[in-house]
């Protein structure tokens, strides 16, 4: 058998498999064998024609040896039928009609005419038109012309789009504990918008991601349409309103840590969210409360109140502070969120044997954007974060400063189950007060599990006369990591990190570390184990970085 792809050869072998009666009978039934031999040429032709081969030359030979029979089949597929031209258009053509994604149609001039690709492309084309709101779209003409003598073919597709459908009234069932106004903030469309199955799917995802519903089903009702308006019914099954979630973990930066979260997902039955969080670790304690008032522009808009207490005890500094914060967030679509905030904080820091108590009011702006690879559909994903904040001694603050901070990451998926992750972080400070008056929470440090691996947590930055790291005004760091998925839940990584904290952009030194690590994904979090070494040291010095976090 020559002239056919290996894939087609395998499929044809399955389609012409002899009947069970021939395979099981011993001695071989010669009448059945002869009948099967005579049917083979037509069966092979019937198989090959949908794949573009209309001139196959097929011969068969049989040889009986005792109780066994050998049947030889010789196939010469001949020249294939190729596509000369495709004619695909909308009827009637209109400036406000749907777009035809012709680039996605699988058959192009010069290709072998394949029935399976033609049918799949035809169905996909109609589905894409209907998804743009033209639910009544139908094929007025779908025709393939074949010239067997010249081995040529033509495709004619004409789609009658009809009138664009639109979203009608939206009704909810099963979510009676939540205000309907709250539920509508998760809609990716509004009544009157052009109908789209993609927007229905996005609405379902946004409701599921709210972590308030165990079941979400978004169902259009085309049989109940009123004119061009298609009603939509959303069926919900709420999760438990109150949850208490403990957690345990270990990180080289923090040591062993225990966590506990209490959450009310529907405070006052208004859709408000209330959380109490406790984190106790060897080097860090964190007790916070937050209350979220939902906004009704979209599900990323709302007013958030935060408050709590935090403390750190490290070799080079100790600090603790109380804080309250008011934050107004605004969603701009496609996972882009902006925020205005004002933070009041009272902090006590002990750095370089100097104890300082500082109060300040920090207003500012934040921006966040996250795009997962599944959302981009192009094999990459990224996240960006930026923050600007300032304080002024004339307004409830002991210090005056401005800070600008940004960080981001880019994930690129590669062939052979590989990926590259690029990370970067930059921060800068402009201040009027002596740097010694700046509390630890507003200083910058580098080193540790999420910074420059190979160095201890917060161990990089300017030092005092005694050699203790006291932090800097500015920060710059970056990382390149190559990940390789070995099995479904296992992976390995090779990485190089660089960065440092410093006081002057005109004179700074970046420290680098490199190493390798293991990754294991569990249903409740990732286990990450890295072994890294500083590159500046002539003598090999390895540091273990471990991150294990579980919650249930």
Residues 332-359 pLDDT 10s: 887 899 999 999 999 999 997 778 899 9
Candidates 175, 164, 161; CA nearest to 225 is: 164
Least confident range from 29-33, 313-317, 329-333, 492-496: namely 29-33
Mean pLDDT of the chain: 90
pLDDT for the residue 237: 95
Contact call for residues 494 and 471 (beta carbons, < 8 A): no
H or E segment to which residue 389 belongs: strand 380-391
pLDDT for residue 257 is more than 50: yes
pLDDT for residue 147 is more than 50: yes
Distance CA 247, CA 261 (A): 8
What pTM value is reported for the model? 0.77
pLDDT for residue 179 is more than 60: yes
The answer to whether the peptide bond before residue 92 is cis (omega within 30 degrees of 0) is yes
Cβ neighbours for 113, distance < 8 A, ≥ 6 positions apart: 52, 80, 81, 82, 83, 107, 144, 146, 153
Task: Report which of residues 23 and 352 the model is more confident about.
Answer: 352
pLDDT for the residue 93: 63
Structure confidence at residue 23 as a pLDDT band (50, 70, 90): low
Task: Give, rounded to a whole angstrom, the gap between the first and last alpha carbons of the chain.
Answer: 59
Helices (H), 355-444: 373-376
Contact call for residues 266 and 178 (beta carbons, < 8 A): yes
Least confident range from 194-203, 264-273, 356-365, 401-410: namely 194-203
- Residue 393 has what DSSP assignment? T
pLDDT for the residue 96: 67
H or E segment to which residue 533 belongs: strand 525-534
pLDDT for the residue 26: 66
Distance CA 478, CA 113 (A): 51
Cβ neighbours for 201, distance < 8 A, ≥ 6 positions apart: 218
Q: Which residue is it, tokens 């030194």?
A: 509
Mean pLDDT value across residues 261-285: 94
The answer to whether the peptide bond before residue 479 is cis (omega within 30 degrees of 0) is no
Distance CA 500, CA 471 (A): 10
Instruction: Give the relative orientation of helices 6-15 and 30-48 as an angle to the nearest 10 degrees.
Output: 140
pLDDT for residue 376 is more than 70: no
Candidates 516, 515, 513; CA nearest to 537 is: 513
- What is the bridge-based pairing of β-strands 166-173 and 229-238? parallel
pLDDT for the residue 242: 95
Angle at 534 between CA 492 and CA 319, to 5 degrees: 100
Distance CA 255, CA 547 (A): 9
Distance CA 475, CA 473 (A): 7
How many other CB atoms sit within 10 Å of the CB of residue 316?
A: 20
pLDDT for the residue 21: 67
């Amino acid at each position: 058998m020559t002239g056919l792809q290996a894939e087609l050869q395998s499929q044809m072998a399955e389609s012409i498999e002899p009947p069970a009666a021939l395979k099981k009978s011993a001695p071989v039934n010669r009448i059945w064998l002869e009948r099967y031999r005579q049917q083979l040429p037509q069966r092979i032709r019937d198989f090959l024609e949908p794949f573009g081969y209309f001139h196959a030359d097929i011969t068969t030979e049989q040889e009986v040896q005792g109780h066994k029979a050998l049947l030889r089949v010789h196939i010469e597929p001949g020249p294939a039928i190729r596509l000369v031209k495709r004619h695909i258009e909308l009827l009637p053509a209109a400036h406000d009609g749907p777009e035809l994604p012709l680039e996605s149609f699988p058959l192009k001039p010069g290709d072998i005419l394949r029935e399976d690709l033609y049918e799949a492309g035809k169905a996909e084309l109609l589905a894409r038109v209907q998804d743009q709101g033209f639910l009544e779209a139908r094929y007025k003409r779908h025709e393939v012309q074949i010239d067997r003598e010249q081995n040529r073919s033509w495709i004619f597709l004409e789609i009658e789009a009809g009138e664009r459908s639109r979203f009608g009234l939206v009704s909810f069932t099963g979510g009676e504990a939540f205000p309907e106004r709250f539920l509508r903030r998760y809609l990716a469309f509004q009544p009157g918008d052009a109908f789209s199955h993609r927007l229905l799917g996005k609405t379902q995802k946004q409701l599921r991601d709210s972590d308030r519903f165990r079941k979400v089903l978004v169902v259009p009702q085309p049989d109940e349409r009123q004119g061009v308006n298609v009603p939509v019914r959303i069926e919900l099954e709420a999760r438990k309103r109150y949850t208490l979630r403990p957690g345990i973990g270990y990180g080289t930066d923090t040591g062993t840590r225990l966590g506990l979260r209490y959450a009310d997902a529907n405070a006052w039955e208004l859709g408000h969210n209330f959380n109490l969080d406790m984190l106790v670790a060897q080097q860090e304690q964190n007790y916070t409360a937050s209350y979220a008032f939902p906004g009704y522009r979209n599900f990323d808009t709302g007013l958030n109140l935060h408050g709590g207490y935090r403390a750190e005890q490290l070799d080079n500094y100790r600090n603790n502070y109380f804080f309250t914060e008011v934050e107004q967030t605004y969603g701009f679509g496609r996972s882009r969120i902006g925020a205005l905030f004002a933070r009041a904080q009272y902090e006590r820091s002990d750095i370089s044997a100097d104890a300082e108590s500082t109060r300040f009011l920090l207003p500012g702006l934040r921006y966040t954007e996250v795009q997962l690879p599944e959302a981009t559909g192009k094999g990459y994903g990224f996240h960006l974060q930026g923050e600007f904040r300032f304080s002024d001694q004339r307004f409830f603050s002991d210090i005056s400063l401005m800070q600008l901070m940004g960080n981001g990451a880019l994930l690129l998926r590669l062939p052979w189950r590989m990926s590259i992750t690029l990370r970067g972080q930059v921060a800068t400070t402009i201040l009027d007060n002596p740097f010694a008056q700046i509390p630890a929470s507003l200083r910058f440090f580098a080193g540790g599990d999420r910074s420059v691996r190979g160095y201890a947590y917060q161990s990089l930055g300017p030092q005092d006369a005694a050699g203790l790291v006291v932090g800097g005004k500015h920060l710059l760091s970056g990382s390149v990591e190559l990940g390789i998925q070995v099995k479904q839940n296992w992976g390995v990584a090779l990485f190089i990190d660089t960065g440092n904290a410093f006081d002057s952009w005109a004179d700074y030194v970046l420290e680098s570390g490199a190493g390798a690590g293991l990754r294991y994904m569990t249903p409740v979090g990732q286990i990450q184990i890295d072994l890294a070494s500083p590159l500046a040291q002539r003598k090999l010095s390895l540091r273990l970085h471990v991150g294990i976090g579980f919650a249930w």
